[in-house]
Chain A
Amino acid sequence: MITELGHFSLILAFLVAIIQAVVPMIGAQRRNAAWMAVAEPAAAAQFFLTLAAFGALMWAFVTSDFSLRLVVQNSHSAKPMLYKISGTWGNHEGSMLLWVLIVSLFGAMAAWFGGNLPPSLRARVLSVQAAIGVAFFAFILFTSNPFLRLAVPPFDGQDLNPLLQDPGLAFHPPFLYLGYVGLSMTFSFAMAALIEGRVDAAWGRWVRPWTLAAWIFLTIGIALGSWWAYYELGWGGFWFWDPVENASFMPWLLAAALFHSAIVVEKRESLKSWTILLAILAFGFSLIGTFIVRSGLLTSVHAFANDPERGVFILAILAIFVGGALTLYALRAGAMEARGVFGMVSRESALLINNILLAVACFVVFVGTMWPLVAEMFLDRKLSVGPPFFNMAFTPFMVVLGLVLPVGAVMPWKRAKLGRAMRLMAPVFVLALALAGLVWVMQTGRSLLGPVGLFLGAWLVMGAAVDLWLRTGRSGAARLLRLPRADWGKAVAHAGFGVTVFGIAGLTAWQSEDIRVAQLGQPFDVGGYTLTLDDVQDGEGPNYFTTTGFVTLAKDGREIAQLRPEKRVYPVAQMPTTEAAIDQSLARDVYVVIGDRQDAGGWAVRTYIKPLVNWIWIGCALMALGGGLSLSDRRFRVAAGARKTSAVPAE
C-alpha cells in the first residue's frame, strides 16, 4: 500500500513539475503576476510529493519488502539497518529518485528563500528548475521505475554490493548529488538571466551562494569517495582517474571556477557572459557525469546500470538542456555589456587566470576521459588513457595555480602593481623555498616531487595567512577575529588547497611498501616499524564470513597498536572484500592487509607506510570549511533578508 502511495505521489510530482515549468514561464513573459505566483506553491508541492515517494521507497527497504523488484535486487533481510537505509540510493533507480528529490529540494529552497528576487526572475528560475525536474521524473517513470512489484516475491533478497556496505560510502552519494544537483540551481539562474536578458551585480550575488553550496557538497562527496577507496579497496590508493571519478571532478573544477568568476560579476560587473557560459557548462558536466555513470558507455567500478535505453534517454536530456542553453547563450550573450574597467594587472585579471587554469584543467580531464571512445569510434584504435596520462597532463595546471594563487589573492581590484603583491609575498616565498630545500637535503637521492609539493603546500598555507593578516590593515591582531567571515573562508579554503597538495605530494614521494609471507609469531620490519602476525581467526559477521589477522605494530620495541586486518566473504553476493587495518596518525598511516594462507605455511601480508596521507582529506575538509565560512558571511544573509530590514533612523 505504502509503495503504491509512493508511486502515485511520484506521478503527481511529475505532473506538478510540468505545470511549474510551463505556467510561471508564460506568466513571466506576459507580466501576469498570478501566473508567476504559481511557481512558489508548485515548488513546495513538488518537493513534498517527491519526498513522500522517496520515503515510501526507503520504507520498503527498511522493512525488507521483497515484493519490490528493486529491494530484492539490492537488499537482504540480514543486512545491518544503516545499509538497508543507504541501500535506497545504492542502486540506479533509487539514486535517480534521490537525484530528482534534490532537484525539487533546491527548487523549493529558491521558492522559500528567494523572497528578494525580482518576481519575474524568480518565476523563470523556478520554471527552468522544474523543467529539469520534468526530464528526470520522466526518466524515472519511463525507464527506471523503482516501484515495480514482483508477481512472485522471493523469500529473501540478493544483497547490496558488499563494497557499498560501508559507512563512508553510505553518505558519499547524497553529498555528491547535492553537489551535482546544486549546480542545476546555478544553471536555472543562468537560463533565467539569459531569457530576461539581464545580468547584474545582484544576479552575481544570488548565484554565488548556490554555486558555493554545490561546490562544498561536491568537495565533501568527492573526499568521502576518495577516503573510502583508500581504506576499502585494499591497496591504499586515493584517486584512480576512473571515468566516474572524473565525472565528479569536472563539475568540481568548473564550480570552483564559477564562484570565483561570480565574484567578479558581483563586485565589478565584468566577465558576465563568461560566467553564464561557465554556469551552463558546470551543470552540463553534471549531466555528462550522470550519463557516463548510467549508460555504461565507459565501464568502471561504479557503473551500476548498463542499459543502452537509459543511456539514450539521458543523452537526449543532455542534448536538450545543454544544446538549448548554448543556443540561447549564442543568441543573447552579446547583449550583456561589461561595465567595470580594470587594468592588465588586477584582482580581476588574477581571477581570470584562476578561471583559465581551472577550465583548461577540466578540459584536459574531459578529453582524457572521452578519448578512448573517440579513438575507437573514429580512429579504429582501441587504447586506454590511464593515471599516467592524467598525472602528466593535469598536474602542471594545479602546480601553476598553486604558484600564482597567493600573489593573485592579495592584489587589489581595478589596478594592481605586480611588484607590490610579490614583495608582500616574498618572505613567505623564501621561507617555503627554504623548507623545501631542507627536506630535499634530508631525503637525499629521492624524487623531487616531495620537496616541490612541500614548497607549494607551505607557500599556499603561509600565503593564505599573509592574506588574512593584510586584511586587518593597521589595527593588527585585534581585528583578526572581527574580519568578515568571507575573508576567513577565503584564507581557510586556500590553505586547504595547499594542505591537500602537500599530502598528495608527500604520499606519492615517500610511501613505502612491503609484501611478504608472514609466519605466525615471527616479527618482520617495514620502514622502521616491527610487525608481528600473532594469530589468524575465522569468524562471522551479520551477513558475511571473515578471516581476521591479529597484528601487533611496534616501534623500537614498544607496542604502538593492535591491528585487525580482515578478509571478508559475502555469501549472498558471492564477493570477497578486504578490510585493511590502519594505524592512523598525522605523520603517517601504517596500512596492513591480510591475504591468503600459503600452502607452505604462513599468510600473505601487505604492509604500507603512507606518510602524510591524512592531510589529503584534512585539506579537503578545510576547503569545505572555508566554503562554509564564506557562505555564512553576514553579507549574504543581509542580501537575502534585505526586504525585511526596517529603516534605521539617521543620527
Chain B
Amino acid sequence: MKRLLMILLLLATPLWAVEPGEVLDDPALEARAREISQGLRCLVCRNESIDESHAPLARDLRLLVRERLVAGDTNAETVDFIVARYGEYVLLRPQATGANWLLWGAGPVMLLLALLGAGLYLRGRARSSTPQDQPLSPEESRRLAEILDE
C-alpha cells in the first residue's frame, strides 16, 4: 500500500517542496523529518536542501527519510542510511573528519592568529614613543620658562 502511495505521489507533477501528501501524521516524527531534510542536499539542484527543492529526486529522498523514521530509525541512523547510498555530497553540513578539520578549524585558527598579531601590534603601539612624549631637556625647560615670563 505504501509503495503504491509512493508511486502515485511520484506521478504527480510537484511545483514546490514538501507536498501535503508527504506530511507524516505524527507531528513529532514530521518535525524530525523536516530537521533532517534541511541538512540534506538535493543532488540534482543548485545548492538547495531537499526540504526546499521541488525536484523529483528531492521528493524521493524526503519520502525515504520519512520511511526510515517510521521504521524506527534515529536521526543519525537515517542520515547514515542516506549517506551510505548517496555519498557525503548529500550532507549540507560537512563532516568534521579528515581534511575537513581544516574547513572547521579555519575560522577559529585565523581568529587566534589575528588576535595574536593585533596584540603584538598594540603592544608595540603602546610602547613606542614620539618626540612629544619625551620630557623636555633642562635646556628646553629653561628656554620655555623664559618665553612664558616675557
Contact = CB atoms under 8 A, between A and B. Distances in A.
A88 B129 CA distance: 58
How many B residues touch the partner, as a band? 35 or more
A593 B48 CA distance: 19
Given A242-B47, A270-B125, A596 B39 contact: no
A243 interface: yes
B52 A371 contact: no
Contact of A576 (B15, B92, B129): B15
A517 interface: yes
A237 interface: yes
Interface stretch (B65-73, B82-90, B137-145): B82-90
B130 to A, nearest CB: 6
A356 B16 contact: no
Contacts of A341: 125-126, 128-130, 133
Given A384-B41, A384-B92, A356 B125 contact: no
A578 B89 contact: no
Interface residues of A, number: 59
Interface string A374-402: 01000101111111110011100100000
B15 A342 contact: no
A339 interface: yes
A386 B43 CA distance: 13
B64 to A, nearest CB: 18
Interface string B35-52: 000110100001111001
B118 A384 contact: no
Interface stretch (A123-131, A248-256, A359-367): A359-367
B146 to A, nearest CB: 28
A364 B114 contact: no
A258 B117 CA distance: 18
A353 B115 CA distance: 8
B45 to A, nearest CB: 9
A19 B102 CA distance: 46
B111 A356 contact: yes
A235 B91 contact: no
B14 A515 contact: no
B106 A385 contact: no
Nearest to B16: A234
Interface string B17-32: 1111101000000000
Contact of A342 (B39, B49, B114, B125): B125
A353 B18 CA distance: 43
Interface string A247-274: 0000000000000000000000010000
Contact of B93 (A340, A353, A388): A388
Nearest to A600: B21
Contact of A356 (B15, B18, B114): B114
Interface of B: 12-21, 23, 38-39, 41, 46-49, 52, 87-94, 98-100, 102-104, 106-107, 110-111, 114-115, 118, 121-123, 125-126, 128-130, 133
